[in-house]
Amino acid sequence: MFNQRIKIRDLLKSEPENQQVTVMGWVRSFRNNQFIALNDGSCNANIQVVAELGKFDESLLKRFTISAALKVTGTVIPSLGKGQKLELKAETIEVLGDSDPEEYKLQPKKHSLEFLREIAHLRFRTNTFAAIFRIRHALAFAIHKFFNERGFVYLHTPIITASDAEGAGEMFRVTTLPIDNPPRNEDGSVNFKEDFFGRATNLTVSGQLEGELAATALGEIYTFGPTFRAENSNTPRHLAEFWMIEPEMAFCDLEDNMDLAEAFIKYIIRYVMEHNSEDLEFLAQRLAEEEKQLPQDKRSELGLIEKLKFVVDNPFERITYTEAIDILLQSTPYKKKKFLYPVEWGIDMQSEHERYLVEKHFKKPVIVTNYPAKIKAFYMRQNEDGKTVAAMDILAPGIGEIVGGSQREERMDKLEQRMKEMNVSTEELWWYLDTRRFGTVPHAGFGLGFERMVQFVTGMSNIRDAIPFPRTPKNAEF
């Protein structure tokens, strides 16, 4: 029954030749007791179904309410209306699922994004979110395609882990111990030896360390999976649960790493531009309308599609961290005390600093390299100057950092020394150090936050609109 249906996207690409077809979808509107706008999620466009006057019972017509699910069989004929070349003249209409218009929260009017987050189970049914999540799918597919074409191995790293790759400590604990009365040691601390895994475990913040293990045997691998940060950041840029893409490459230095990351970003954006042009055009128009409400100085200089083309067609600017700080110190916002956060060598640049470099100074994506060692993780390769590490961040217009990566420290003595300085246990990470004991090689990798990429490509201002069900502080609905 159901496999005989044609998707509306495919039907709209065909020519009207009086062919008989079956479509299924949800009612977007029903007017004049005759014209049904039907949508099945395959595209934002609706098919107009013509229910000939007098052909269908009044009791059936009353059930064609907003979001009711219909199965329609009919004849494809040329359309007399503007903006569409065909319509479906209905012969049979079956209601697969009724929808009470009094109870349905998604009425045919403009809703705020904040309201739609409260009904995330229904927001897929709006044109905006249907376009976003089709683009999200295309980006995910393009990611696998990119790495597969280059001979990378897709690796599934653990979601439950005993290691903290970032050394940040902001992790979600995983335990089966009773919360109200856990077993305790003599000193009063929780006795995790009685826990499920026999030790303290957490949700992963990164698959990088495990990825390095595979890369030093398979050559080139990538991970693409969920990661978790128990960071109490209630901002438009942070999520507690998000997806990361993390390639790791043996026989690779910082420059190779930058080249791959730039090629990767351009490839996946180009893929979406080629395969989701209608969705991008819709979101570009939506963004343009939204920006009309902003003051002139807050509007983007480029439209969404122009921005994506600019990223794809131009080389990314490459500067050192020291050069970036010098630019910020010479900037008008710094001299006029417009930055909220201080600027000096050694700071961890804030979003306002990153966006100034990208949006005002260079006006294109920027790769910043060679950060101060003090603000970076233990595994990054130490430079000869003794102050910086071979790290790189890619900064993108609108959101700031989108990629973070580095050449990894392959020298055993340097790595152990750094771990001791940062109080990272060499005993717990004995398995990580083994890769430096047995055939160590220069290697590098990076991480790209998938939702930030979705946000960048769709033009959405809040990262909570780039993932189906956002997990944020005090919010785990749905």
3-state helix, strand, coil in the chain (%, to 5): 35, 25, 40
Quote the pTM value: 0.94
Beta strand pairing call for 86-97 and 241-250:
unpaired
* b/e map 302-341, b = 16+ CB within 10 Å: eebbebbeebeeeebbebebbebbebbeebeebeeeebee
What's the pLDDT at 74? 97
Name the nearest CA neighbour of 407 among 437, 369, 374, 435.
369
What are the residue boundaries of the structural domains of the chain, listed by start? 2-97, 125-164+208-224+237-463
pLDDT tens track of the chain, all 478 residues?
Answer: 667 899 999 999 999 999 999 999 999 999 999 999 999 999 999 999 999 999 999 999 999 999 999 999 999 999 987 778 999 999 999 999 999 999 999 988 889 999 999 999 999 999 999 999 999 999 999 999 999 999 999 999 999 998 876 655 689 999 999 999 999 999 999 999 999 999 999 999 999 999 999 999 999 999 999 999 998 888 888 899 999 999 999 999 999 999 999 999 999 999 999 999 999 999 999 999 988 888 877 777 789 999 999 999 999 999 999 999 999 999 999 999 999 999 999 999 999 999 999 999 999 999 999 999 999 999 999 999 999 999 999 999 888 899 999 999 999 999 999 999 999 999 999 999 999 999 999 999 999 999 999 999 999 999 999 999 999 999 999 9
CA 22, 27, 28: angle at the middle one, nearest 5?
130
Distance CA 311, CA 20 (A): 45
What's the pLDDT at 84? 84
Question: What angle in degrees, to the nearest 10, is found between the helix axes of 254-275 and 277-291?
Answer: 90
Q: What CATH number was assigned to the domain covering residues 2-97? A: 2.40.50.140
CA 26, 31, 34: angle at the middle one, nearest 5?
90
Q: pLDDT digit string (tens) for 373-416?
A: 999 999 999 999 999 999 999 999 888 899 999 999 999 999 99
The DSSP secondary structure of 209-265, one letter per residue, reads: HHHHHHHHHHSEEEEEEEEE------STT--SEEEEEEEEEES--HHHHHHHHHHHH
Distance CA 206, CA 166 (A): 8
Name the nearest CA neighbour of 98 among 51, 121, 65.
65
What's the pLDDT at 168? 55
Distance CA 29, CA 202 (A): 48
Distance CA 429, CA 163 (A): 8
Give the 3-state secondary structure of residue 389. Answer: strand
Cβ neighbours for 428, distance < 8 A, ≥ 6 positions apart: 162, 163
Task: Quote the CATH superfamily of domain 125-164+208-224+237-463.
Answer: Bira Bifunctional Protein; Domain 2 (3.30.930.10)
